[in-house]
Structure 1
Amino acid sequence: MNATRLLPRVLNQTVRRYHDAHFKAPTMDELPVPKGSWQAQYDANQRRYNAVLAFGIAFTVGTLAVAKASGLIYLNYSPPKSLD
């Protein structure tokens, strides 16, 4: 058999074996139905996100304050007092 005739047959069989014989296409009826108020869920999410943001900012500021107080970093916000 010629290779040019064999290749389409192999590819065609591969495509046919992709799905199970009992495959059923999904429908809109299978999607979850929203329950409750979207505004209440949105507000709860925003409270959680704002708490995470506040914690991150406080942690960053606290880390910089401890590092500055211990002398590990110099922030270069003013010229040095001496050249040494």
Structure 2
Amino acid sequence: MMRGRILSLRNNVVSLMSQRHFGKPPRCDAHMNELPVPCGPWEPWYTERQSFYNKILVGGIMWWLFSFGMLLYTDSIYLNWRPPSNPGPPSDMVEECDDSDT
């Protein structure tokens, strides 16, 4: 009697495990009906996002200009925009070299 129950239980488990989709939902291919559909106008949302991004852009440019100005103000960087303030020695102090091969 006990052996018959065990064999019956075993047959039930084997039949469940042999099913194709045991433990997994059936596969369903995606289709266009599952895509989100916009509702309402898109322009107010787009304008709001662009306004936010433009503020970030202007803030970044202002920070870069401030940082660059501080670099120039503190002489941390020299960009060679003009000739040096201390020119070379006068010409009578410079020895001329002779390029002749004699």
Q: Same fold (TM over 0.5)?
A: yes
1:1-84 equivalence runs, <5 A: 22-83=26-87
TM normalised by structure 2 equals: 0.56
- Percent pairwise identity: 32
Runs of 4 or more, structure 1, over 2 Å off, are: none
TM normalised by structure 1 equals: 0.66
RMSD, aligned CA: 1.9
Q: 1 or 2 for the larger relative contact order (CA 8 Å, sep ≥6)?
A: 1
Secondary structure, aligned partner of 2:58? helix
Gaps of 5+ in 1: 1-19
Secondary structure, aligned partner of 2:80? coil
Give the structure with the larger helix fraction: 1
Gaps of 5+ in 2: 1-23, 89-102
